[in-house]
A and B are shown apart, each in its own frame.
Chain A
Amino acid sequence: MKILDVIHDANANLWRSKLRSFLTILAIFVGSFTIILNSAINAGVNDFMDKQIANMGGDGYLEMMPAETYDSLASMMGSNGPQEYTDDKDSANASTYLKEEQIEKAKKIDGVKVFNVLPNSSADYITSKKTDKRYRINLNLVVEGIKFDMSNGETPKFEKDAPYEIAVNEDLAKALGYENVADIVGETVQIAVPKNLACYTAIKRSECQEIIDVKVSGTQAPGILSMGGSRANLSLWNRINAINYEGMPAETNRSYQATADVDPEKIDDIKAELEKIGLKAMSVKDEAGMFQSFFDAILVVFNIFGGIALVAASIGIVNTLFMSVQERTREIGLDKALGMSNGKVFLSFSAEAIMLGFWGSAFGIIVSMVVGNIANKVAVETFLKDFPTFQLTIFEPWTMISIALTIMFIAFLAGTLPARRASKKNPIDALRYE
């Protein structure tokens, strides 16, 4: 008997008792639907997180600060519990700045590709000619060699002597009077930078501010990690720093944090090395970690539901096929009398089980894709409105195929019991069976 005939007959046999087969397929469908939709949501979340990570500088991007600064920040946030005061840690203000030797050591760590020391730079507000309002601005530096995920325009040019450029968040672009956010690309905005020394004695803040014109090179989609942050290029950053420290002695320690682009493969080792020299490093993944682990936990729970549904469905397969074997006892007897081998009888019932699994997962794929796409549309208009790059469900062909194959294999395993019973039947007894 040819394998194509076996498959064809298995399918034909399923439709002999339509309702029973349909109900069994329905049970498998529930399990496969749950698992396929889960994996699609998982893919959607991962894709979104990847984009977020790219927004923040990518897998190899590290932000560092002295461990002491981190500890005091952490205790301020209350996340480390009460911290004991010690004279040498807390009285020495200098320890919250990066030391030359730390920087030199950090640059030499294997896998560190680019190491930027960030001078302390801060700006008061940003505004544009299209609005009277002024908005607080939180500046970050772009990283050499990294292209950020921009929704419009480009990443600000990193080169030292490039014109002042900034990438702004889409929300900020709207606030600055650009209802169509793409229009802000190439426009000039104004940033107010305080002269820190002068501000100690100034009566009005505006007296100690210098306004600089900055070109907007691009916009970033709002996200959960980079909320509100704007990216300045190095020339702008240095200019702001120069204004901040105007009139202060040149040797004033101005560096309090650093960024690096490192080999993502070695990131954990590099973080450990940095810790040894007193630098606390945070990767984008660390920041994304909490969000992701929360999501992972939800998906695990749903996958367990899907798994339980599949176990129940497997019992359904066993039951359906046992009934089928019973009903077709005479037919099995005839097949065997006419020379069908035990193996082929086993195969034909196994094929039926596999077909049940096939149809269950095929419907699972189709329905979950329909539901997933509807959910995407609804999500974009409602709870994911603020995250236009977040696609709730992404259906990856290979994931779906491997889920379908796994379900068909489970169905095959469930089918082995009845198929074995069928193959063991004695043709004479089977023919005599009433």
Chain B
Amino acid sequence: MKNVLLSTRDLKKVYGKRDSKFEALKGIDLDIQKGESVAIIGKSGSGKSTLMHLLALLDKPSEGHITLNGKNTSNLKQRKLNRLRNKEFGFVFQSFFMNANDNVLNNVILPLKIAGVRRSERRRRAMEALKTVELDDKAKNKAKDLSGGQKQRVCIARALVNNPKVIFADEPTGNLDSATGAKIEELLFNLNREKGITLIIVTHDEELAEKCDRQIRIADGKIVTDGKGVAKHDPSFIEDENLDGMRDRNHTKEIDVEAE
């Protein structure tokens, strides 16, 4: 399939050594299409965050590999990885991670500054991104003076300022009340629909997960279920070991053939 953006094969991640060894991921096979919105769901400790870090090229797998746009990333030099993250990815975190004492504009500018974009150019693009999240009038305000929802919108502006292919959102609504959360969700899905930005959301919020095209449920470092509408089921039911065989793996298998 030509539209595969990110795929993993037998992805494993082990923390620690010998006695304290802990297998966070036990072999993940996954393909994410361009323009897809994917929810990675799981309880804390399930390995969902580890998976996201690996997909976002923030960390290296212990075994297996990740391909981005058909290119194997495991042989890439650190410099190239940094560039890829800077140009292709956007990040939205649960606890925002902003420079609280800096103004909104400078916070949005950060990825462009790291990329070495000219002053006037990065200003223009940051204002554009702020317009998208309807915060262009707050550009000169200090980040710490904003409300939670506004902060997360600034973070979304920061995530999309470099025109990324993928936005990784780690519990984007986790720190927000449901009304503001809904607004943030709407914003993210709009970006996904209108700009075709691939959305990878890590969450344990079933409602949010349900709004995604696809839900990947992780437990104990393995994919439990993968597909549309699986999240509707009772979570306790899904974690049942017996359901392992019921996973819809057709999708993955199909790509296997294409990739080889």
* Closest Cβ neighbor of A12 among chain B residues: B102
Beta-carbon contact of B86 and A339 below 8 Å: yes
* A428 CB-CB contact with B under 8 Å: yes
For B83-97 the 0/1 string (1 means CB < 8 A from A) is 111110001010001
B162 to chain A, nearest CB (A): 9
Tell me if A342 counts as interface (CB < 8 A to partner B).
yes
B36-70 interface mask toward A, CB cutoff 8 Å, 1 = contact, 0 = none? 00000000000000000100101100000000000
Q: Which of B53, B59, B101, B110 contacts A338 (CB 8 A)?
A: B110
Q: Is B18 an interface residue (CB 8 A)?
A: no
- Pick the contact of A1: B84, B97, B114 (CB < 8 A): B114
The number of chain A residues with a CB under 8 A from chain B is 21
**Are A337 and B114 in contact (CB-based, < 8 A)?**
no
Say what secondary structure dominates the interface of chain B: helix
B97–A334 touching, CB < 8 Å:
yes
Q: By the criterion CB–CB under 8 Å, are A341 and B79 in contact?
A: yes
Question: A335 interface residue, CB < 8 Å from B?
Answer: yes
Q: Which of A1, A16, A342 contacts B113 (CB 8 A)?
A: A1
Question: Are B91 and A335 interface neighbours, CB within 8 A?
Answer: no
- Chain B residues with CB under 8 A of A431: 93, 97
Chain B neighbourhood of A340, CB < 8 A: 82, 114
Q: Mark A315-353, 1 if CB is under 8 A from B, else 0.
A: 000000000000000110111111111101000000000
B111: Cβ under 8 A from any A Cβ: yes
Bound CA–CA A333/B97 (angstroms): 9
Q: Which of A21-46 contact B (CB under 8 A)?
A: none
Is the CB of B259 closer than 8 A to any CB of chain A?
A: no
Q: Which one, A16, A335, A339, A428, contacts B59 given CB within 8 A?
A: A428
Q: Which residue of A lies closest to B118 (CB)?
A: A2
What DSSP secondary structure best describes chain A's contact surface?
helix
In the bound complex, CA of A248 to CA of B260 (Å): 124
Say yes or no for A427: interface residue by CB 8 A criterion.
yes
Known contacts: A341-B79, A428-B53. The answer to whether A5 contacts B58 by CB under 8 A is: no
- Picked from B53, B97, B101, B115, the residue with its CB within 8 Å of the CB of A339 is B115
Cα-based distance from A335 to B101 in the complex (angstroms): 16
A232 to B78: give the CA distance in the assembly, Å.
Answer: 81
User: Are A2 and B116 closer than 8 Å at their CB atoms?
Assistant: yes
Q: Does A16 lie within 8 Å of B101, measured CB to CB?
A: yes
Name B115's closest neighbour in chain A (CB-CB): A339
Residues of chain A lying within 8 A (CB to CB) of residue B78: 341-342
A337 contact set on B, CB distance < 8 A: 56, 58, 85, 91
Judge whether B114 and A338 touch: CB under 8 Å.
yes
Task: Indicate whether B74 reaches chain A with its CB closer than 8 angstroms.
Answer: no
Complex CA–CA separation, A267 to B75 (angstroms): 69
Closest CB-CB distance, A68 to chain B, in whole Å?
Answer: 80
For the complex, give the distance between the alpha carbons of A331 and B102 in Å: 12
Beta-carbon nearest neighbor of A333 in chain B = B97
Are the C-beta atoms of A338 and B99 separated by less than 8 Å?
Answer: no
Whole-angstrom distance from the CB of A45 to the nearest CB of chain B? 49
Q: How far does the Cβ of B102 sit from chain A's closest Cβ, in whole Å?
A: 8
**Which A-chain residue is minimally distant from B86 (CB atoms)?**
A339
Complex formed: what's the CA distance from A338 to B116 in Å? 12
CB distance from B99 to the nearest CB of A (A): 6
Identify the A interface with B (CB < 8 A). 1-2, 5, 16, 330-331, 333-342, 344, 426-428, 431
